[in-house]
């Protein structure tokens, strides 16, 4: 018996196959990490709602009112606005005062898709402060 050397059979050849077990272990760990992290990465619409104290709204330095009626008509500061003109009016507001807060008033019978589309238009115009206006029961 020789110290420091391993005995090798004369016809032994080096192993030339890849050991798949560590590779499979790493892939399973990555799969678990992505399964846990994927739901955390989904985000809704980024809204910066005003903080209230006992139900009283916080006054914004500059705000506009965006109203959606049940029939789908849209008003900006109590003026009816056509759907094609709304984007440019909002962009003009954003150019003058980017910190303008939009108070969104939507009838409760308005479909959620319509409200989400309006929020997207407001954000595309450059206004990112959006507050939802509700009534007290």
pLDDT digits (tens, 9 = 90+) for 77-117: 888 888 788 888 999 988 988 888 998 888 878 888 888 99
Helices (H), 10-70: 20-41
Q: Are 74 and 68 in contact (CB under 8 A)?
A: yes
Give the domains, in start order, of the chain with CATH numbers: 63-132 (3.30.420.270)
Q: Judge whether residue 1 has pLDDT over 80.
A: no
Residue 95 has phi, psi (to 5 degrees) of -70, -40
Strands (E), the chain: 63-68, 74-76, 79-81, 101-106, 129-132
Distance spanning both ends of the chain, measured CA to CA: 92
For the segment 3-30, what is each residue's pLDDT rounded down to a tens digit? 666 676 777 777 778 888 999 999 999 9
pTM for the model stands at 0.55
* Residue from 70, 58, 69, 128 nearest 98 by CA: 128
pLDDT tens across 30-85, in order? 999 999 888 777 544 343 333 444 455 556 678 888 888 878 888 888 888 887 88
Query: Tokens representing 9?
Result: 């059979």
């Amino acid at each position: 018996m020789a110290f420091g050397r391993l005995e090798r059979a004369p016809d032994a050849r080096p192993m030339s196959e890849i050991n798949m077990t560590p590779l499979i272990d790493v892939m399973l760990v990555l799969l678990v990490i992505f399964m846990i992290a994927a739901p955390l990465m989904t985000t809704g619409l980024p809204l910066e709602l005003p903080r209230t104290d006992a139900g009283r709204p916080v006054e914004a330095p500059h705000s506009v009112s965006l109203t959606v009626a049940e029939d789908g008509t849209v008003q900006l500061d109590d003026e009816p606005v056509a759907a094609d003109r709304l984007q440019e009016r909002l962009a003009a507001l954003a150019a003058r005062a980017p910190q303008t807060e939009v108070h969104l008033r939507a009838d409760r019978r308005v479909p959620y898709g319509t409200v989400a589309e309006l929020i997207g238009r407001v954000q595309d115009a450059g206004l990112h402060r959006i507050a939802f206006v509700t009534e007290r029961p």
